Amino acid sequence: MIKARHNIVLLSATAWLLLVAVGCGPTPSASFRPNMVEATKQRLTVDQERQVATVLLAMFGTPDDPVALPETGLDESKLRLAAGPVRSDIVGRKNGLYREHCAHCHGVTGDALGPTAAFLNPYPRDYRPGVFKFKSTERADKPTHADLVRVLHNGIAGTSMPSFALLPEIQVDALAEYVKYLTIRGETELALMRAFFELDDDAGGKLPETREFLVYETLTPAAEKWRAAADAEIQVPEMPSDIDLVASIAKGKELFYGDKANCVKCHGVTGLGDGQANDYDDWNKAIVEVEKEVKSGAAKAREASTAGMSPDELAEHRAQLAWLEKFHGVLDGDALAPRTIPPRNLRHGIYRGGRRPLDLYYRIHAGINGAPMPAAKGTVPPEDIWHIVNYVRSLPYELDGELGADRPMVARDRF
Amino acid sequence: MIHRSLNVPHLVACLLVGATAVLLCFGALVTTYDAAMAVPDWPATYGHNMFLFPFAEWFWGPWDLFLEHGHRLLGALVGLITLALAAVVWLQSPKEASLKSTVRGLVVAAVLLVVLQGLLGGARVLLDDKTVAKVHACTGPLFFAVAVAIAALTGRNGTSAATGPSIESRVSLGLLGAAYVQLVAGAQLRHLDVATVAPATFRWLVAIHVFGAVAVMALAFAAAVCCRGQASPGARRWSLAIAGLVCCQVALGIGAWFVSWGIPSGWLPAAWMPSEPLAARSAGGAAVITGHVVLGMLILGVAVALAIATGLFAGRGTRVALQPRPPRDGRPERAYA
């Protein structure tokens, strides 16, 4: 029995040690994570980073208590529904929707650094640069509110982004509004960090504390783009109702392999996405470029000889080394390992931006913002874009002969 | 004619195990649906006495409210059953002195744990604190394990003839510990505060949970092999059950990841990838995730039964009193006075 008691005591002690180990310390309050990659890239001092954080806190509040200045055009009641920890309010309405549904991947700041992000392929969207791929507006424009709602409602096929069609409409609407809030906040943060570079010497490294600078020069431009998006929808010519589908597909095929649209360059002669596949999207490209800068800087610093340096040069050299070391740490903790973006395999019939012909029209017309996919606008007439849409939609069902064997001659075959 | 006396402590203990299992299912659903804060006050429910909250408002109300308030009511029921169990164990103790003290010790532990668990549940709501939620999620399975142990020890055939530590008892003990550690790791993942956690912490937790799954699986199969030839029929049965359950659990774990975060592209051939996005908050997804948690608790419960069957409470050189005994004049000896 002594042995038995010994076992019980051992098990109980282990169990409680585990409990203590997991439960030590209260949960810290939520805060937005600063954009350290940009801050380090701009060589901001700790004091300057603090200035940016203070301004952002005043203009946007915290993840638990968001603020929307009138200039943002955001509906604060919707933000309050989406922000904060998950809980029901006094009338039984659920709050904290962003943290419940989105933050695990997109991060509480919308920086795509949520706990799960590193496991996902493709990575979740980083909202802070304000770039969105799947929308009904021109390439450089913001998506409309309806575009965001559509992505939330439908999800993104072929990725980890689920469909939120089972959520009540009011919740999806609140989430779309919160995404805009995080984007405007992120873009304002970038503008503030970049503003230090343009400061006069007599500013003493301090940002102007005027409303004109803080609101009208940094926040308003970011917010204005969202307001303008509603009027920036692509005007799509209707697909002719009496279109001969076989002829349209044949015409689309010609364009697909032709010099004007040149889809074949990336999507490959087979349409399997086996063309040029070593490119990055904008988010990964930014990290790749920074990594290159750090690597080349480190190589130069290693090669530099400190023997003949003046005290000023030596101080500068040391500052450069410190900056490189800091950047190295920032890239480890605040950025995910860059990945190339493979062109879509068009024979799977999985279209991330939506499977409607209209969605494909938007993608071909405006390209995909943030991705290497270029816009056909200006090179392919609008009515011809419908032919490409019809051809692309036929690819998953094209069963005759070897893949791409019956293709028209492409540019590179001619040489 | 075989005369069987009513083993009231065992019946109440089994009732406790059943009620706790339902309670744990509700608790798991509360976490799956993030419904812990569906009722902002405690011990009252929206200002009402918990037991007097309008039935229709609860039963036909929002799903979150149904889960959270149901969890509280079931918690209260489990507390009452635990107190009833304590009373009957004290009134109707096992004859054998060492077993009597073990069962009584476990019952005291159960009472303390159920009170603590209730307070933790209340603190989780009042403080709205994820750390408390984690501790709450770890204490629940611990209470369940104690309840299963009481049910096993008060049963007529529940204990082992083992006369000392054997290889199967050691493996079973290791399996029990590993199953609990897995539940602790799982609770950390489920109650992650996404607003404050460092991504590296999540990666570590996932790694621990995955390696823990491998360890539990290895120990489960080792237990099945060890118990195959030498152990009691009960131990053989439990060890086979746990091996099967662990296989199901691994499949459910993969499914839980899939329904939560999808399959990263590139991990599977493209042709196998689903062409439609998953639906967040679907009933099927919630069933898989909750099923993974509940099956984890079931594995813990079976691990307790296996550990007892292989001699967890059997001392060196002693024989446990509740072992089936040779009939005396055609009547089995009564275990309880």
pLDDT tens across A112-160, in order? 999 999 999 899 999 999 999 999 999 999 999 999 999 999 999 989 9
pLDDT in tens, B299-326: 999 999 999 988 877 653 333 434 444 4
Interface test with B, best of A2, A5, A6, A7 (most B CBs within 10 A): A7
Question: What's the pLDDT at A17?
Answer: 60
Which ipTM score applies to this complex?
A: 0.85
The per-type count for chain A, helices as H runs and strands as E runs, is: 16, 2
Structure-derived torsion over alpha carbons of residues B47, B53, B59, B61, reported in degrees to the nearest 10: -20
pLDDT in tens, A83-96: 999 998 877 789 99
Is the minimum CB–CB distance between B112 and chain A shorter than 8 Å? no
Question: What's the pLDDT at A247?
Answer: 93
Size of interface A-B (CB pairs under 8 A): 190
Are B189 and B295 in the same domain? Answer: yes
Are B143 and B225 in the same domain? Answer: no
Q: Which of A4, A118, A158 sits opposite B199 (nearest CB)?
A: A118
Q: Is residue A138 included in any domain, yes or no?
A: yes
Q: Alpha carbon of A155 to those of A147, A164, A351, B195: distances in Å?
A: 12, 7, 11, 23
* pLDDT range class, residue A25, cuts 50, 70, 90: low
Q: Is residue A237 included in any domain, yes or no?
A: no
Rounded to an integer, what is the distance from CA B124 to the centroid of its chain?
20
Query: Containing domain of residue B257, as a range?
Result: 161-265+281-319
Average pLDDT over chain A reads 88
Provide the chain B residues 168-187 that lie in CB contact (below 8 A) with chain A. 173, 176-177, 180-181, 184, 187
Q: Is residue B143 included in any domain, yes or no?
A: yes
**DSSP symbol at A95:** E
* pLDDT range class, residue A3, cuts 50, 70, 90: low
Question: Whole-angstrom Cα distance, residue B136 to residue B122?
Answer: 10
Count of CB atoms situated within 10 Å of the CB of B192? 20
Q: What whole-number percentage of chain A has pLDDT above 70? A: 89
Are A316 and A364 in the same domain? Answer: no
Q: What whole-number percentage of chain A has pLDDT above 90? A: 62
Are A201 and A249 in the same domain? Answer: no
Is the minimum CB–CB distance between B269 and chain A shorter than 8 Å? no
H/E stretch holding A141: none
Are B63 and B211 in the same domain? Answer: no
Are B179 and B154 in the same domain? Answer: no
Q: Over 70: is that where the pLDDT of A13 sits? A: no
Q: Mean per-residue pLDDT for A63-86?
A: 94
Q: Write the CB contacts of A367 (distance below 8 Å, at least 6 apart in sequence).
A: A139, A373, A374, A375, A376, A377
Question: What's the pLDDT at B157?
Answer: 60
* pLDDT range class, residue A348, cuts 50, 70, 90: confident
Q: Is residue A252 included in any domain, yes or no?
A: yes
Q: Scanning the structure block, which residue is given the tokens 């873009």?
A: A187
Higher pLDDT, A308 or A75: A75
Are B149 and B204 in the same domain? Answer: no
Q: Is residue B146 included in any domain, yes or no?
A: yes
Question: What's the pLDDT at A308?
Answer: 79
**Helices (H), ranges, B262-331:** 283-309
Count of CB atoms situated within 10 Å of the CB of B17? 18
Q: Which of A334, A353, A378 is the last residue of a domain?
A: A334
Are A211 and A197 in the same domain? Answer: yes
Are B137 and B174 in the same domain? Answer: no
Are B209 and B143 in the same domain? Answer: no
Q: Is residue A264 included in any domain, yes or no?
A: yes
Question: What's the pLDDT at A415?
Answer: 46
Residues paired with B48 in a beta bridge: B45
Question: What's the pLDDT at A209?
Answer: 87
Question: What's the pLDDT at A140?
Answer: 92
Q: Is A94 helix (H, G, I), strand (E, B) or coil?
A: strand
Provide the chain B residues 300-319 that lie in CB contact (below 8 A) with chain A. 312-316, 318
Q: Over 60: is that where the pLDDT of A163 sits? A: yes
Question: Whole-angstrom Cα distance, residue B301 to residue B67?
Answer: 23
Are A350 and A325 in the same domain? Answer: no
Q: Is residue A372 included in any domain, yes or no?
A: yes
**Nearest of B306, B156, B45, B264 to residue A122 by alpha carbon:** B264
**Nearest of B334, B320, B325, B295 to residue B152 by alpha carbon:** B320
Are B153 and B171 in the same domain? Answer: no
Are B147 and B290 in the same domain? Answer: no
Question: What's the pLDDT at B322?
Answer: 40
Question: Whole-angstrom Cα distance, residue A203 to residue A206?
Answer: 6
Question: What's the pLDDT at B149?
Answer: 95
**Nearest of B180, B105, B207, B193 to residue B149 by alpha carbon:** B105
Are B171 and B295 in the same domain? Answer: yes
Is the minimum CB–CB distance between B284 and chain A shorter than 8 Å? no
Question: What's the pLDDT at A238?
Answer: 87
Query: Containing domain of residue A301, as a range?
Result: 282-334
Are A288 and A275 in the same domain? Answer: no
Give the residues of chain B that fall short of pLDDT 50: 1, 316-328, 330, 332-337
A119 to chain B: which residues are within 8 Å by CB?
Answer: 203, 206, 261, 264
Question: What's the pLDDT at A312?
Answer: 86
**Count of structural domains, chain A:** 3
Q: Over 90: is that where the pLDDT of A376 sits? A: yes
**Nearest of B146, B140, B72 to residue B104 by alpha carbon:** B146
Question: What's the pLDDT at A78?
Answer: 96
Q: Over 80: is that where the pLDDT of A6 sits? A: no
Are A328 and A399 in the same domain? Answer: no
Say yes or no for a CB contact (<8 Å) between B194 and A103: yes
Kindly state the tokens that stand for A189. 């943060």
Question: Whole-angstrom Cα distance, residue A219 to residue B187?
Answer: 41
Are A286 and A272 in the same domain? Answer: no
Are B146 and B34 in the same domain? Answer: yes
Q: Is residue B326 included in any domain, yes or no?
A: no
Q: Alpha carbon of A6 to those of A9, A13, A14: distances in Å?
A: 5, 10, 12
**Count of structural domains, chain B:** 2
Are B243 and B127 in the same domain? Answer: no
